[in-house]
Amino acid sequence: MTRVALVTGGMGGLGEAVCIKLAALNYQVVTTYSPGNTKAAEWLADMEKQGFNFRAYPCDVADYDSAQQCVALIEKEIGPVDVLVNNAGITRDMTFKRMDKLNWDAVMSTNLDSVFNMTKPVCDGMVDRGWGRIINISSVNGQKGAFGQTNYSAAKAGMHGFTKALALEVARKGVTVNTISPGYIGTKMVMAIDAEVLNSKIIPQIPMARLGKPEEVAGLVAYLSSDEAAFLTGANIAINGGQHMS
Ligand code: NDP
């Protein structure tokens, strides 16, 4: 039996590593990309050249209707979703003094509403079938806060509240819900941070003195997606090189 894993934002730095890892473990991997992403076909072709048979669907995860339509199409064309990785996310960093409603709303809807929007159409099916894995990609900055990230820290902390509440509701149904909170991982999102800030402020805070690798987070997603992880639910697993221990 081939399980279907849906990874939102699978064309991004972390998402791509998750797609590759899950494909290597024989999941049928499906990803979403933003409707405005003009490089989706190129990414798919590149992945195909590397031997990966990914499927990809446009979806604005911040938009409820878009998410419902996307999942309905995936279930019709590929099959029920067994593993959902809520990975799509954005940052719009600025101090609270400068934070306007537009940048607050953008981050809340893309990083937090998205979790509701994407989980809603797959959760009942997982419960009915008696097996499912929901994995929410949060952030160390949702655990500890970060200067200039009131929007992002609030959304990422909110993800874990969602995880704990839903984990309780589906615990007896073979469905687990967990949060992963990565520290700084060397993806586009982090490389967009000013190099001076990265080298003088961020890396010195990491006891391992380096950024994490996308593959290291993907390995944790793979474990949470597995049968062996059946007893692990409602957790917030930190993967941050020792930067924050709670
Ligand atoms: P990227 O910017 O590389 O990827 C983000 C992905 O999210 C992109 O694939 C993008 O799709 C997708 N996305 C953004 N907005 C939407 C939307 N409205 N609808 C659909 N898809 C959307 O970031 P990372 O890979 O670094 O981050 C992935 C996740 O990990 C995020 O949730 C991030 O907050 C979290 N994280 C990352 C850390 C890091 O150090 N990199 C640390 C902690 C957490 P498209 O390209 O098609 O626009």
Catalytic annotation present for 223:
no
CA of 87 to the centre of ligand 1 (A): 6
Q: Where in the chain are the domains?
A: 4-239
Within 10 Å of residue 49's Cβ, how many Cβ atoms?
8
Which pLDDT score is estimated for 189? 77
Report field, pTM of the whole predicted structure over 0.85: yes
- CA neighbours within 13 Å on the CB side: how many for 170? 30
For the CA of 109, the nearest atom of ligand 1:
18
Closest ligand 1 atom number to CA of residue 33: 47
pLDDT at residue 221, as a whole number: 99
Name residues of the chain where pLDDT drops below 70: none
Indicate the pairing of strand 132-137 with strand 175-182.
parallel
pLDDT at 190: 86
| Dihedral pair phi/psi, residue 229, rounded to 5° | -90, 20
Q: Which residue in this structure is represented by tokens 């593959």?
A: 215
Residue 7 · residue 55 · CB < 8 Å: no
CATH class assigned to 4-239: alpha beta
* pLDDT value at residue 246: 83
Contact 189, 15 (CB under 8 A): no
User: For position 192, what pLDDT does the model report?
Assistant: 86
**Pick the catalytic residue: 57, 152, 184, 223?**
152
202 lines ligand 1 (CB under 6 A): no
Q: 14 CB under 6 A from ligand 1? A: yes
pLDDT tens-place string over residues 83-136: 999 999 999 999 999 999 999 999 999 999 999 999 999 999 999 999 999 999
pLDDT of residue 36: 94
